[in-house]
Chain A
């Protein structure tokens, strides 16, 4: 009978299949018999190998603490903060999901946990979801008014959303509540945005002397000091600051990239390229890959530069695949090296999500690259509305004005740039000078 024969065949096949499947599965037992992940206490972690032994130790301590007291919401929240710090130090973004999970667990245990709410705000900032960050920061402020750390979350979000007056008030509260490294660092950035470079440097010096941070925190601030000197055209002071940052925190990426920028500004492209390649090999963040491409392009290595720009394109795709808010920086890249129409889309989205001077700068540059000159000019006025002296802002605004037929405005902006930091970028510095020569 047909039906029976069928089922016999099936059963034979099935028995064979079970055999094969179980054979494969034996290895699965190896993997699953103890699904608890590695314990690493037995092998001493070599100091100096890790970005910061203290953060790693702190994480291990908190993990143990949470295992002991699994219903302690604060333990989870503190662990989440430590994971965020770990991302800053190691650049390993696989800690983001852990941080998010830890904050989530803390909030399940206590929906009004202050640290976890504020920490989720920090995480939203890292993902460039500034509106969510602001909402979380404000909710945290409602739970624990006046806690200093949370002012930082609110102020960062307000700055990125272009709410500068509100940000100024928040920062004032912050500095009053806690005159420390991270509050001074934010004041410095706020002053820098308004074109007050000496004021920004003064605040940074206060930040460094206030200390009270991990090596990474101090290195971070020292690197920012380097950036301020660089933007102001004092390349020797910039180099000193970057080297100080590297002494504090060897290999600190922002300082390495800064040092390479100084080398490029001095015309030593070979050294800059070597340094950037080493950095990109270790931590291929788009920002550093773009810097490498620009330097190679300036050094006449067009093929190498093309490869780097392609890599940035790939990273953009990955960021989008991961649902990360691609923003102003990538719009600028597309306008310079990719698809200008795509740049306009990206920048329009960035501007809609966060109407800051940073977004305005990118949007105006993207509009200008597709010859929408009038709109570009009006957006550019917004970008310069606070009086920024950021060299790339000045360059973009100058060129936008030139293309839009405003030679006087273009001349003023480019002259300020060339006067302030003529070598801010190996590609665009010389272009700015040429454009200015043409205007004179």
Chain B
């Protein structure tokens, strides 16, 4: 068992490395590549029965922000604070509102006063700040209006990213002239696509009919209109994301697979190991495969199922405001996992040293660790084998979560899920492999068993500490990235 733990820690190190790679991933789409004087904005339009909501996001680069701070900083402390904040936000809203013009069936519609306007100063380059304004404008339109148009003339004479995005509404189907996607993650990173100029979208028109939240929009290059049905397409679409860093993502997927495979050998998975033995001793390759399949499906599904529930819930709550907080929560959680890892490692290391002083009867210590609710020696049926597989996969492994959380904090859920899938497949591959190994030659199993030969003593001593530290570093990175978004 000692060797098994070593491997487990080596694996956590791998996980830590993958997490850090994720934290660094969006480097290719930095915020304002040389565009330090740009004013960027995005209008997200959601047309429902009888109402239109325009969620407006403004991202001002360092130079216009500095100019404005100079103008509104009345107390001369170099920052916008207290009443200056309100004055500046009011000014921004007064700049924005008149330049957003909405019509329904050709008639002008008045947008309501901005709801929940917010102002923030995220850090930019050279120790300077950016300005971020978000506000939601809602207008009532005649129920049954067929044609809605938005003209966004805000900051029309300024250089910058100008985009309009359509979001699915309630009780409507919408055919849109503007895309149903936003490659910037809400104006947080601007991808440099060699074959795309930054958008200069000032007009949008929408054909509206009664329906169930379907949106059809021009999507991407020359593919013409593509129908996006969120209810069906969400996860499938998510898995295709991240095509902009092909090699890195392949590498990540590969390491997730290997990580999962090795993870199955670690002590926490004692019961599945046993299941592997049992499958092998029953003598049918089919059983081994079945077991692997059950673990993969369950482990992946545990995450996916939660996702589906949330997808449904998101129709009622706008998760925007939660982003930064959840980002911080995720970061804190990763830090906690890392600290916990360091702590247990230290404790065991001390205990082990004590043991070594008494001689080498370490086999006794770990009885309790290989979970007690393992199956009895009774002959197993196919059904109990599947049950075993499910119990092996039902609770997501904390170390896998570290990666998922990191992916999510980078707004890359699709990638996170793909990594989890790869991880689960790896997990299953080992279990199936163990079963098959037993089947095809009992001796082979002995070699696969996680004994000391995989990692030498010195490496095994360093890796755990390193891995735990990596995780803490990753968690800190995630938290630090989230804090400035709080505003």
CB distance from B373 to the nearest CB of A (A): 10
Query: Which residue in B126, B163, B182, B200 is a CB contact (below 8 Å) of A321?
Result: B126
Contact A318 B62 (CB under 8 A): yes
Contact B322 A24 (CB under 8 A): yes
Contact B330 A21 (CB under 8 A): yes
Contact A26 B311 (CB under 8 A): yes
Contacts of A101 in B (CB 8 A): 192, 194
Contacts of B234 in A (CB 8 A): 26, 29, 33
User: B326: CB under 8 A from chain A?
Assistant: yes
Contact A37 B193 (CB under 8 A): yes
Instruction: Report B371-397 CB contacts with A as 1/0, cut-off 8 Å.
Output: 100000000000000000000000111
Contact B396 A37 (CB under 8 A): no
Contact B199 A37 (CB under 8 A): yes
User: B456: CB under 8 A from chain A?
Assistant: no
Given contacts A36-B221, A38-B179, A97-B192, is CB(A21)–CB(B326) below 8 Å?
yes
Complex alpha-carbon distance, A314 and B129, angstroms:
11
Contacts of B64 in A (CB 8 A): 284
Given contacts A6-B344, A25-B416, is CB(A283)–CB(B181) below 8 Å?
no
Q: Contacting chain A: which of B136-144, B404-412, B460-468? A: B404-412
Query: Which residue in B128, B184, B241, B405 is a CB contact (below 8 Å) of A17?
Result: B405
User: Please, which residue of chain B has its CB at the minimum distance from the CB of A44?
Assistant: B203
CB distance from B422 to the nearest CB of A (A): 17
CB distance from A9 to the nearest CB of B (A): 9
Instruction: Report B313-326 CB contacts with A as 1/0, cut-off 8 Å.
Output: 11000011011001
List residues of A (11-36) whose CB comes within 8 Å of B's CBs: 11, 13-15, 17-36
User: A162: CB under 8 A from chain B?
Assistant: no
Contact A318 B167 (CB under 8 A): no
User: A54: CB under 8 A from chain B?
Assistant: no
Contacts of B219 in A (CB 8 A): 34, 36, 39
Contacts of B327 in A (CB 8 A): 24
Given contacts A28-B412, A40-B201, A96-B34, is CB(A22)–CB(B326) below 8 Å?
no
| Size category, A interface | 35 or more
User: A49: CB under 8 A from chain B?
Assistant: yes
User: Please, which residue of chain B has its CB at the minimum distance from the CB of A9?
Assistant: B340
User: Please, which residue of chain A has its CB at the minimum distance from the CB of B153?
Assistant: A49
Contact B197 A59 (CB under 8 A): yes
Contact A43 B178 (CB under 8 A): yes
Query: Which residue in B37, B198, B243, B395 is a CB contact (below 8 Å) of A14?
Result: B395
Contact A4 B368 (CB under 8 A): yes
CB distance from A403 to the nearest CB of B (A): 34
State the A residues within 8 Å of B (CB): 1, 3-4, 6-7, 10-11, 13-15, 17-46, 49-50, 56, 59-60, 63-64, 66-67, 76, 79, 86, 90-98, 101-102, 105, 282-284, 307, 310-311, 314-315, 317-318, 320-322, 324
Please name the 9 residue pairs, one residue from A and one from B, whose CB atoms are nearest each other, closest first.
Answer: A36-B220, A25-B413, A33-B237, A32-B241, A34-B181, A93-B34, A321-B126, A28-B413, A317-B126
Contacts A/B (CB < 8 Å), 28 sampled: A4-B368, A4-B369, A6-B344, A15-B396, A17-B330, A20-B326, A21-B401, A21-B404, A24-B327, A26-B234, A26-B319, A27-B314, A28-B238, A29-B414, A32-B412, A32-B415, A33-B241, A34-B179, A35-B242, A36-B219, A36-B221, A37-B199, A41-B218, A94-B33, A94-B34, A98-B192, A318-B128, A320-B126
